[in-house]
Structure 1
């Protein structure tokens, strides 16, 4: 076996001999309040019967919201189909009675003609209604799915940013997404339950008019199937939630392997065999659980099939007894045969489709729960509308990300920012700079007992979220590369009647206009490589666009301007241009600049130096540079030390 084909288990056992044995950590998580297993264990025939009306109402409500006219026509068509089905059964009785009585055949046919006409017309109309139902359902289902997707996206974007740091939120999103995907099938199952119910009622009505003793025998062929359907639904649902962790890990591994951003490293680092080993190990655990669930479900279904066959034999035996004892005539027996078959099909359809509907309803619960709560993190702040802040105060700010092994990202920060001031934030990786910026801009809120941030004396949690963000312009480290036109990548839909000149003005401050001038369709060029007509920018071109986007936004609404490493991918000329523009933009707004290039911090009025979540130094560039010690002096010396080992001479 080669080194690159080693299994996950072999790869995991690579610790030094003197290292204490520890448990390997895998991509698994659990979260408090997860009651899905309890729900799965509680699945029973009683709960299914109790919940079916609610699920049918929910599915019809979704359909009604998506397309009222088609939903109404669908219900009317199903009801009419049931009525014509009952007429067909009654007409069958009349036809058989006329054909089986003594006398000439001509008289029989003449007597059966009205019933045959009704039977033929009912069959034709039922066929036409069946086509109409299928057409209407095909029209409504994609609309329901679209509405569900839109509602889910809206709910997801209405969650606090901090939700993305919580495994519980990610799991609830996955569950809700699965629920949204089931909405077309949910409607189809609800429709099948309704159709089966209408068919059963029609057939049971016919049987009751023929002989009341036939009605109870319908249950003999349906109870075992119903119990089995509920039991198998429970087995499969529990298997699904048991493997959720593994399935999430598979999606995660898959994304890391096929994502364009890491495609080069997948190849050059030759990590594919190692990661595929982990993938196969997780997949094997899923297969083992699902195989076991399939075996259990098959065993239950086999027992149900035997019981159903026995019940059917009893039902047909009862019919023979009624005929042989003269309690019903031969014509009525023929009609009863058709009615029994129709009713049995209706019962089995109700049970089978009802169990499927109930099972999908469990996922739909996750969907509606997410819509109500946005995974427990729906934005629910104050309603005060802020003006552009003249002063921002940070008091005793402490912030920790979720995770038992996580140290606080920020520890007791105190900071005051003033309008018109440019503040540079300096520090090593992991010092808490980006976290501080997200808190200052209201993307994160201070945690309970973790201090506070105020805009002009008002805690940011009391400000209306969208109104707050209207006053914020940001360039994050991982800026978005929107698949939009070049101009749209700047204004992002926030513009007046004519956005072109303000967009061009902002682009000129960063040099992005030069990148656009080289594009085939200029400002109308789609920046989405791989799509028809799409183009791609260089890393520096995209960074110019991201900074121009922030400059455009802050021109529209001066407030808080935040730039987190805005020139990391730029050449010296573009960097010089942006930094000079930043200085010119300073009046009327609070400006924060994060940079690892300490020379760039010279443009700041004040420098804040962070280390391990704390502010360890503040001052102007010259004040900090003149200090004989301190972190700023250390970083400056390291940045200026460019002594390299001498080139070796050939032997």
Structure 2
């Protein structure tokens, strides 16, 4: 990402006026301070498909658009074949209707040009009726195709989104660590989001192609020279449309970084989560200046594009007008030379207008489909990639373990040369509370992932009794695990679901209240407006929010409600008060006889309750034993860390 400082003159001027009321009450030393520097210019050079439209040739666009249409057709076929067939049939019938209408007009015009208007109308009315009927049929087919598209679009969007989300949830955790995974995931997500418009855009584009083909076919059948006349009338407009589309896209491309960052900042400026900090630290002035600068940059670049857009449009329209005059002159010459009847010339004019409207749709929606197609290809490529990385290790059904044994188990993250966990041989027994201790980066979280089967070691084995987790069904392993991670989910669900999440529903709420009581959340939940039915999401109307410590208690309740054979808590009380922390660790001791309990914490006073302390250092087990033994050992790392904690 490159960063370039720009003056932001307009933003600075706007902010100075806006902040006048505030600065009037500020001490003189502060009012004299210069305006802040404009925020840096952001340009995400690594963004996929950057300058895609500018760099693409007409051949690239012509090649990509059929591919995008094919991918859209496959998506449509997979979600609703009946609606997909309806759209195709309606498009074809609409094109046939256009061809019939033009042919009928060609038949009717010679009869209308006779000396007696009544006689001409009497002879022409069957052809005119056929033309009207064909136009009505074409309009009806368009409406029916639009109805089918509106039914198809949400299904395509849902199918694309559900597939992407499902594969993310089923992928091995190692997939997230692969280089560039998040970038490819974001590009695929854009493809999934744009799927909502794909069917509609494809329908309009193909309709334009069919209408253009129908007009060209009719004209060619009337007189071979009319195809050239058609090209004379539509080519200038087509080229002008392509250039104008590139200007639009260039503005979009040059402002996308500013718009994205502005959008993120807008949420931070308006959310209640940061309202206290924003006000108490007097951030409003600068942040308003920053936001105004971003708005001015986007606005300025859009205004810059207005002039070239106008010039190109005027030039294309002028050239199109000259070519249209040339078309009429050509038609007049053919009529005067006797090579073409006046009726056929009139039909050519009508057909050229039809073709012009069709070409406008082709240009507009062709550029849209080209860009959509890039991200749609990303979507399909990413889906194939993640599908090959989903968790599929074996069919052995894991049972609640009496012991967990690591035999020379190590793990190296993708694209890393050094193992996060060096080969470790270690046994954990049921009924035992084990504490993992170590400095940041010592390998504690990675070790937890291995012993719970979230990842399999790159070397060595992790055994639950005699079952190698690398060959076990992952879901069968996780059914016996309760995990409280450092970053637990504040799920926007009811309080009940936040405790029972992932477990079958049972009649009555006794177990739920029991889990809440174990972690000291009973009073807080009963004080909520709807108790267990209260939505825990303040951003939603009627929702309520918990404090950080209460969310941690709820995460502990969720793990305890599972009554797992393997209970793992990674910094479970970092935001709790002393009373809550004491209650959690007291409950862990009470639950310990029926499970293997593992605790990771930097609060070393809590380590006293563990039966065994395992101290990790740079991915290896440096020492292990009881808390008192290790503290009393000379040059013990635990003793050193504990002494540092006591000195604070």
Asked whether the equivalents of residues 217 and 315 of structure 1 are also in contact (C-alpha less than 8 Å), the reply is yes
CA gap of 1:38–1:640, structure 2 versus 1, over 3 A, is closer
Equivalent position of 2:140 in the other structure: 128
Asked whether the equivalents of residues 437 and 614 of structure 2 are also in contact (C-alpha less than 8 Å), the reply is yes
State which of 128, 131, 135 in structure 2 corresponds to 1:119: 131
SS at match of 1:615: strand
Asked whether the equivalents of residues 405 and 463 of structure 2 are also in contact (C-alpha less than 8 Å), the reply is yes
Please say if 1:170 is aligned against 2:176: no
Structure 2 residues without counterparts, runs of 5 or longer: 1-30
SS at match of 2:170: coil
State which of 447, 469, 484 in structure 1 corresponds to 2:478: 469
Alignment of 1:247-396 (within 5 A): 260-271=272-283, 305=317, 307-374=319-386, 378-385=389-396, 386-389=398-401, 390-393=403-406, 395=408
CA gap of 1:610–1:233, structure 2 versus 1, over 3 A, is farther
CA gap of 1:566–1:94, structure 2 versus 1, over 3 A, is same
Asked whether the equivalents of residues 226 and 351 of structure 1 are also in contact (C-alpha less than 8 Å), the reply is yes
Equivalent position of 1:216 in the other structure: 228
SS at match of 2:72: helix
SS at match of 1:426: strand
**What is the rounded CA distance, in whole Å, between the counterparts of 2:276 and 2:33 in structure 1?**
21
SS at match of 2:189: helix
Asked whether the equivalents of residues 431 and 594 of structure 2 are also in contact (C-alpha less than 8 Å), the reply is yes
**What is the rounded CA distance, in whole Å, between the counterparts of 1:64 and 1:569 in structure 2?**
51
- Cα distance, 1:268 vs structure 2: 3.5
- Cα distance, 1:301 vs structure 2: 6.1
State which of 429, 448, 456 in structure 2 corresponds to 1:418: 429
Asked whether the equivalents of residues 8 and 281 of structure 1 are also in contact (C-alpha less than 8 Å), the reply is yes
**What is the rounded CA distance, in whole Å, between the counterparts of 2:76 and 2:61 in structure 1?**
22
- Cα distance, 1:567 vs structure 2: 2.8
Asked whether the equivalents of residues 401 and 409 of structure 1 are also in contact (C-alpha less than 8 Å), the reply is no
Alignment of 1:102-251 (within 5 A): 102=115, 104-164=116-176, 168-227=180-239
CA gap of 1:317–1:181, structure 2 versus 1, over 3 A, is farther
**What is the rounded CA distance, in whole Å, between the counterparts of 1:399 and 1:258 in structure 2?**
42
Asked whether the equivalents of residues 167 and 390 of structure 2 are also in contact (C-alpha less than 8 Å), the reply is no
Please say if 1:7 is aligned against 2:16: no
State which of 612, 615, 619 in structure 1 corresponds to 2:621: 615
CA gap of 1:440–1:285, structure 2 versus 1, over 3 A, is farther
Q: TM-score, normalised by structure 2?
A: 0.81
Equivalent position of 2:573 in the other structure: 567
Please say if 1:546 is aligned against 2:546: no
CA gap of 1:412–1:225, structure 2 versus 1, over 3 A, is farther
Asked whether the equivalents of residues 7 and 277 of structure 1 are also in contact (C-alpha less than 8 Å), the reply is no
| Count of aligned positions | 616
- Cα distance, 1:592 vs structure 2: 0.7
Asked whether the equivalents of residues 30 and 168 of structure 1 are also in contact (C-alpha less than 8 Å), the reply is no
- Cα distance, 1:564 vs structure 2: 1.6
SS at match of 2:593: coil
Q: TM-score, normalised by structure 1?
A: 0.81
**What is the rounded CA distance, in whole Å, between the counterparts of 1:238 and 1:443 in structure 2?**
44
- Cα distance, 1:434 vs structure 2: 3.2
Asked whether the equivalents of residues 404 and 462 of structure 2 are also in contact (C-alpha less than 8 Å), the reply is no
- Cα distance, 1:472 vs structure 2: 1.9
Equivalent position of 2:595 in the other structure: 589
CA gap of 1:39–1:572, structure 2 versus 1, over 3 A, is closer
Q: Identify which range, 243-252 or 354-363, moves more after superposition.
A: 243-252
Asked whether the equivalents of residues 425 and 607 of structure 1 are also in contact (C-alpha less than 8 Å), the reply is yes
Q: Deviations over 1:440-479 (max 9, x none)?
A: 3343454x57x66554566645444333322321111222
CA gap of 1:303–1:414, structure 2 versus 1, over 3 A, is farther
Please say if 1:441 is aligned against 2:447: no
SS at match of 1:172: helix
Equivalent position of 2:74 in the other structure: 61
Asked whether the equivalents of residues 479 and 546 of structure 1 are also in contact (C-alpha less than 8 Å), the reply is yes
State which of 489, 493, 497 in structure 2 corresponds to 1:484: 493
Asked whether the equivalents of residues 97 and 331 of structure 1 are also in contact (C-alpha less than 8 Å), the reply is yes
Equivalent position of 2:585 in the other structure: 579
CA gap of 1:96–1:258, structure 2 versus 1, over 3 A, is same
CA gap of 1:241–1:113, structure 2 versus 1, over 3 A, is closer
Alignment of 1:478-557 (within 5 A): 478-498=487-507, 500-553=509-562, 555=563
Asked whether the equivalents of residues 43 and 230 of structure 1 are also in contact (C-alpha less than 8 Å), the reply is no
Q: Deviations over 1:346-372 (max 9, x none)?
A: 344334432332222112112222222
SS at match of 1:349: helix
**What is the rounded CA distance, in whole Å, between the counterparts of 2:376 and 2:99 in structure 1?**
34
CA gap of 1:317–1:157, structure 2 versus 1, over 3 A, is farther
SS at match of 2:495: coil
**What is the rounded CA distance, in whole Å, between the counterparts of 2:425 and 2:291 in structure 1?**
46
Q: Deviations over 1:137-193 (max 9, x none)?
A: 333323332332222322333344455556722322322222223223322221112
- Cα distance, 1:393 vs structure 2: 0.7
**What is the rounded CA distance, in whole Å, between the counterparts of 1:215 and 1:430 in structure 2?**
72
SS at match of 1:567: coil
CA gap of 1:413–1:238, structure 2 versus 1, over 3 A, is farther
**What is the rounded CA distance, in whole Å, between the counterparts of 2:647 and 2:129 in structure 1?**
101
Please say if 1:97 is aligned against 2:110: yes
- Cα distance, 1:562 vs structure 2: 0.6
Asked whether the equivalents of residues 88 and 122 of structure 1 are also in contact (C-alpha less than 8 Å), the reply is yes
Q: Deviations over 1:189-246 (max 9, x none)?
A: 2111221222223322322332121013322344455456556666776886787766
Q: Identify which range, 81-90 or 232-241, moves more after superposition.
A: 232-241
CA gap of 1:351–1:234, structure 2 versus 1, over 3 A, is closer
Asked whether the equivalents of residues 419 and 590 of structure 1 are also in contact (C-alpha less than 8 Å), the reply is yes
Q: Identify which range, 280-289 or 563-572, moves more after superposition.
A: 280-289
Q: Identify which range, 381-390 or 484-493, moves more after superposition.
A: 381-390
Asked whether the equivalents of residues 452 and 459 of structure 1 are also in contact (C-alpha less than 8 Å), the reply is yes
Asked whether the equivalents of residues 234 and 352 of structure 2 are also in contact (C-alpha less than 8 Å), the reply is no
**What is the rounded CA distance, in whole Å, between the counterparts of 1:613 and 1:280 in structure 2?**
48
